[in-house]
Each structure stands twice: as C-alpha cells, then as structure tokens.
Amino acid sequence: MNETDIKFKTEIKTIKEGLVEIIIPEFEKVSSDAPVFYNPAMEFNRDISILALQQFQKELGKSIDICDLFGGSGIRAIRYKKELENVGEVSLNDISNQAIEFGKMNSENNKLSLNFHQKEANILLREFRGKFDVVDVDPFGTPSYFIDSLGYSIKKNTMICVTATDTSALCGTYIEPCIRKYNAKPNRTEYCHETGIRILIGFIALKIGKYKKYVEPKLSHSSQHYMKTYLKVHKSSKDTDKSLKENIGYIAHCNKCLYRTPVKGLTSTINDNCPECGEKLTIAGPLWIGRIQNQQFIEGMLHEIPFKNLKTSKKVLKLLTTCDEEANAMISFYDIHKISKVLKISAPKLSEVLETLKNKGFSVTRTHFSPLGIKTDCDINTLKKIVCNLSIDSNKI
C-alpha cells in the first residue's frame, strides 16, 4: 500500500517526532479504538527510550538488534532505527494489519529498512527466541500477559523496556486487579506510585526466575499515566536465587503514624502491629525492594542528551537528574503535607525541611515520584519533630 492508496481510503495526518516524519490515519481522540495507535503525549517516553537504548548499546559495546513488540504507528521502531548509533536489525511487530501497513509505508518514506511481523506478541517472542538484544514492551494497559513469554524468549544481556499504563491497579485504587494481574497487593499510600513500579519489577523478576534469569534495573520512572522500567536481564540459577532472596519482599506501612519499613524475603514473617504506635500495619507486595535506578547508567543517559535531537530535552533532563539523585536513597518517601495533616499543623516549606535534615546530618533527596516527596534516612518520629518545629517557626513569622 502506498500513500495514495491510504489517502483514498482514509484521512491522514503527518507527525514529526525526533528525526522522523510519519503519516497516520486521522483520529478524534487518543484511544485503543484508533485505526492506528499514536499518542503524542508519549513522545517524552520515546525520547527517554532513545537515550536508554543508546546508553545500553554503549555498555554492551556492540550493535543491537531491537524488537518493538507493540509497534502501533511504528514511530518508536522507526525512531530507533533512525536515531540510534550502532543499531542492527529493528523488528516492528503489531497484531493489527493496518498498523503494519502504515509501519511499512512510514519506514519506506524515511528511507529505512525494518523487519515487519504481524503476530500476537507471545507468539512472536516464542518464535524468535534469543534473537533480540532489546525488547520494548509497550502494550495497552498491563504488560503482565507477556512476561512469561518474555522470560522464555530473552537471552542473557538483553534489555527489556516494560511500560504499564494500568496505574490504578498498580497504585491500589483497585486492589483485586493488581492481585489478579501482578499477584501482589498494592497499597494506596502517598508513595503508591513507587510501590506500583516495585510491584511491576517484582512481578517480572519472579516470573522470569523460573527460566534462571534475573533482572538488574537500570532506570524506572512513573510519569503522566504510565510507569516504565528498563531492566537488563542476566542468566544463572545461583545468581537468580541470590537476587530473589535479596530483592523480593514487602513494604509494611502504618496509616496512623506513617512509619514504614521494607521486609526482605518472599516468605518472611511480618509484624502485625506498628512498632511505633501499635496500630495494625498494612502490607504491599510481594515487590522489588532492591535498587530501581542505576546511577552510572542514568549518568550515561544524561551525557547523551546533547547528542540527540529531543524536543522534550528540558523535561528529560529534570527527570533523569532527579532519578540520578534518588538512585541510592531509601525505599518509599515522606510527604511533608501528609505528615503535617497527621500532626494537624500547617505544612512548613519543603526547602526548609530539606535544609534542616541536611544540617542535622541526614541523607536527603527529592524524588521524581512526587514534588512534595522527601527520601531520607531520618526516622519518622525525628522527622515529625523537625516538621513541627519548622511549622511553629513559620507561624511565628
């Protein structure tokens, strides 16, 4: 099918993103019902992927074969082929015939050669076992239906880039869908987006563990309506056991006094009651309690920004800088407004709390998960005292 055939059948529009230009059928609103799926709001997501894949390619030290498992308009795969250095074969898969037709036409118009597949994602993964160095998993809603095939199919040293848009399940707005899809209990706390992404990574780690494979998170972020994690996959039964033992666990949280603690181990005994106030603890998990960011990897991505032509580079810089800062910080974060609400006081300025914690020798960083969040090794009772003192001080002025 060429551009004239498509024009004849349907109204089309032109999209410019990164270094490419594509045409897609006109649609009224972004939805899974659109004839070919394209979401302009995900340009930011794709820009980050360009940096992540480039950094991964550099670390791997060889050219990379990429599979965009859910191609949609093809914009992602086409950009990978055009904008990445040292890229080998790029495969674009989509179950939709129309998506593949547009993908073929758009790659031709951009003078790029890609491999096209129109297969159900699980089938493609199983047929092409061990073929790819990078698999991008960007489905509608949950990626959970595809993780087992991914575990079976990927070879060691593959990077898997997994997007989830079912954030209401992962964040605990609804508990049952999360249990159904991720076999984990979410918890609707102030840090529920972090819990959600940890549930996603934990689910992937547990699912692929049976294939003696384990994950090393490189970058994880929650932005707009989705969560995305970039994981390097390794293979070894001994190291998979070790990784699961060290990195899978739970987060116990007290809704009354805001105490929280990670608990290591899939089958650990968890205290029923809060050690600080005696209230019943709520539990999230099983989930990933290990690191979800890799500072060296993120710094490599930051270094790449000036070399890529990204419209969203300011926003990307802000996100990556914050992810870099929080890479080694504690699990979960405190929200000063939430603490002030529990204490029934007016909230002090965030900058003053940060400054005071720093002056007292605590480690402290902001988090990309929330503009009001603070990650610190200060315990909740000391933090409450600091918040209280600062609130009284600010009221006096």
The residues of the shown chain that bind ligand SAM, judged by CB under 6 A, are 37-38, 42, 46, 70, 72-73, 75-76, 94-96, 99, 120-121, 138-140
Please name the residue that has the structure tokens 């070399």. Answer: 307
Instruction: State the nearest-atom distance from the C-beta of 31 to ligand SAM, in Å.
Output: 10
- For residue 283, the cross-strand partners are 252
Please identify, using beta-carbon distances, which residue of 123 and 277 lies nearer to ligand SAM. 123
Given the complex with ligand SAM, which of 149 and 243 has the nearer CB atom?
149
CB of 128 to ligand SAM, least distance (A): 13
- Residue with the CB atom nearest ligand SAM in the bound state: 72
3-state secondary structure of 21: strand
Q: How far is the CB of 71 from ligand SAM (least distance, A)?
A: 6
CA distance 55 to 58: 5
Q: How far is the CB of 310 from ligand SAM (least distance, A)?
A: 15
Q: Which is nearer to ligand SAM, 35 or 88 (CB)?
A: 35
Q: How far is the C-alpha of 123 from the C-alpha of 146, rounded, in Å?
A: 10
Contact assessment for residue 250 and residue 260, using Cβ atoms and an 8 Å cutoff = no
Name the residue nearer to ligand SAM (CB basis): 76 or 185. 76
Please state the closest distance from residue 245 (CB atom) to ligand SAM, in A.
33
| Distance, C-alpha 71 to centroid of its chain | 18
Helix (H, G, I), strand (E, B) or coil at 159: strand
Nearest to 16 by CA among 81, 102, 79: 79
How many Å apart are CA 39 and CA 253, to the nearest integer? 36
**Contacts of 206 by beta carbon, 8 Å cutoff, 6+ apart:** 183, 244, 248, 266, 286
Q: Which is nearer to ligand SAM, 121 or 386 (CB)?
A: 121
The string of DSSP codes covering 62-89 is S-EEEEESS-TTSHHHHHHHHH-TTEEE
Q: Which of 139, 202 has the CB closer to ligand SAM?
A: 139
Q: Write down the least CB distance from residue 140 to ligand SAM, Å.
A: 5
